[in-house]
Chain A
């Protein structure tokens, strides 16, 4: 069975190239990327006026399964991923039970194979029970299929434990993904510490709680010559610290989330819990620094930190509502609207942050569109406009900060492993 993606413009983020070309898929691989491929015996996907990209890779999502299935499941979360153009997602281990033994890794992989719409790579815990005290059985977790380790949601506060984790992972080809937050400095914090925490009477989460922990983790990683990936970078200071570390050769990479290059803390003035997220929305100068970091390569990847919560949980008093916002369905559009249309990044640069950038962090062969590569392909319209409403979301939860906004850029078709799984709003499992 051959599928021909015809008349599109192919974006190759590896070489930053854009060219008119057809793409031929045979079985689950790309067999040819050249113009004017003959249509003989092919099923045709007409990509006229559209851009053909490698399937997007999101290295930071919360699928909530096992344990929190009222918020999201592997099935619903990967459906949201598919709608957002993601063909590979790495899911964080703060489930219940947490992913600190190989049984849970296997469970997630099995569920993903059975019910998932896209490829799922489990991230396992750094420490047992995510308590930050003893190392999890990282060797067994990696053998079972963990793509990285992280205690996402918290920092490993004990520096000795963190040092040992950095040392230990040198045996494996995986990064340590660090959620950087000094929990003493951010204690009881609700929103960014600044004018709004003062005027709204909410406890602040200062930028230094993130920056001081990033600094510590970089120093530990550098000292034992290990690999560090920093999750959800949100402040100007963080970008600068990472830029300097990269310059002196530390093996550090980082990601930011769409909400950090599109939203600032003013939106919190009405206490809307859909804007409550950790790290919190920051200030204008942080947003600008994040955008510059994306442009100059300090920030390697855009990852959504897709964090579903039920409306019952979000409809609480601000202090009692959980942190987190969903992001899979809107990530590409927010990127086009806030970065490409505002001339911060070119379209290929944005695609790179959604494909090869994150794939290189995990050191996986994804995010590539060339002869012989796996046929994970996302086809986009960069000019199509739409207004986000609750019905737009296909995951279980609707806690998006972009409801009501007009966004530009839409996902028109997604091939996963050679199969057309999403075709202009229609899902084929």
Chain B
């Protein structure tokens, strides 16, 4: 296995293929642990991990929190209401204060793209990006890749389609970087208003036609559509979006027999996906949640584990 030397996990873009595979392989061994009757491992005993969430996210913070507990770390939860970002203490001051308490690792969710990169320049602690604005969501992409690997074995030549609001999706960006590095072919699909300019330069194909996007795809990853964005400028109505881009039973016949359906959650049932598809045999949506735990254990272990700390000392 490739040796892990990185202090932070800020983006998938900056990782090499070998580094991604190292995380996925480490996650495999942690998944084994989670299947044992005694699920705890002592590897992060004595380490303090801060969960600094400037944006509410029950799913991601719960997953990180449980992952840290399984590794015997001490956890400090600091949920910050997004409204206090502007009014309150600056981000740099917040982390300077945390650092004075000798913490090792900050898992950070922020509504502003680039916030973890800025923080990494101003602190000695390790930063794990748990989602920054519309930029990246590395651990979500890693758990998506892990789930694909568990189901498909390898990435070479695999065709993966991501459907939805690509423009505003950090999940899409992290997945595009990661999957392309691993050798998969990525297609993005959505209304043209939701496809960011020059996205082809990130190595993807673009289509506005859902049928074309899913034909031949091995995996279809559906993104949550957020209605509140740009009030009516991105698409005219939820009804029209669903009519053109919803993954429902009528799409079944256009899919490959063994194609998987993924979704980062939370699901808008009846909008980007129908209940029958979300709960159907192709869906690995709950498996993604389970795998998220193993992947986040792997990330915490690699970033906060022994080797990285001895470097700091």
Contacts and interface: CB of A to CB of B under 8 A. Distances in A.
A265 to B, nearest CB: 11
Given A201-B134, A316-B91, A317-B112, A195 B118 contact: no
Contacts of A198: 196-199, 201-202
B113 A316 contact: no
Contacts of A200: 113-114, 135
Contacts of B165: none
B91 A317 contact: yes
A318 B113 contact: yes
A202 B170 CA distance: 11
B90 interface: yes
B117 A320 contact: no
Interface in B231-253: none
A319 B113 contact: yes
A199 B202 contact: yes
B86 interface: yes
A317 B13 CA distance: 20
Contacts of B134: 201-202
B86 A201 contact: no
Interface residues of B, number: 27
A204 B114 CA distance: 15
Interface in A166-217: 193-195, 197-202, 204
A72 to B, nearest CB: 22
A202 B134 CA distance: 7
Given A199-B202, A201-B136, A318 B196 contact: no
Contact of B112 (A194, A204, A318): A318
Nearest to A315: B92
A270 interface: yes
Interface in B103-146: 110, 112-115, 117-118, 122, 132-136
A316 B90 contact: yes
A319 B112 CA distance: 6
Contacts of A312: 90
Interface in B177-236: 196-199, 201-202
Contacts of B202: 195, 198-199
A271 interface: yes
Given A316-B90, A320-B86, A195 B114 contact: no
Nearest to A206: B197
Given A199-B13, A318-B118, A193 B197 contact: yes
Nearest to A268: B114
- The residue in A194, A204, A318 that gathers the most chain B C-beta atoms within 10 A of its C-beta is A318
Contacts of A270: 117
Contact of A271 (B117, B173, B197, B198): B117
A201 B197 contact: no
Contacts of B85: 317, 320
Contact of B173 (A194, A201, A316): A201
Contacts of B173: 199, 201
A90 B170 CA distance: 43
Contact of B115 (A195, A204, A317): A317
A194 to B, nearest CB: 6
Nearest to A188: B230
B110 A317 contact: yes
A236 to B, nearest CB: 16
Contacts of A315: 90, 92, 118, 122
A271 B90 CA distance: 17
Nearest to B172: A201
A265 B192 CA distance: 24
Given A199-B202, A200-B135, A271 B86 contact: no
A270 B118 CA distance: 8
Contacts of B136: 201
A201 B114 CA distance: 9
A195 B196 CA distance: 9
B197 A194 contact: yes
A194 B185 CA distance: 22
A195 B173 CA distance: 12
9 contacts: A198-B197, A198-B199, A201-B136, A204-B197, A271-B117, A315-B92, A317-B85, A318-B112, A320-B112
Given A194-B198, A315-B92, 19 more contacts: A195-B202, A198-B197, A198-B199, A198-B201, A198-B202, A199-B173, A200-B113, A202-B114, A271-B118, A312-B90, A315-B90, A316-B90, A316-B91, A317-B91, A317-B110, A318-B113, A319-B112, A320-B85, A320-B112
Which 8 residue pairs are nearest across A and B when measured between Cβ atoms? A271-B114, A201-B135, A201-B134, A317-B112, A198-B196, A201-B113, A195-B198, A318-B114
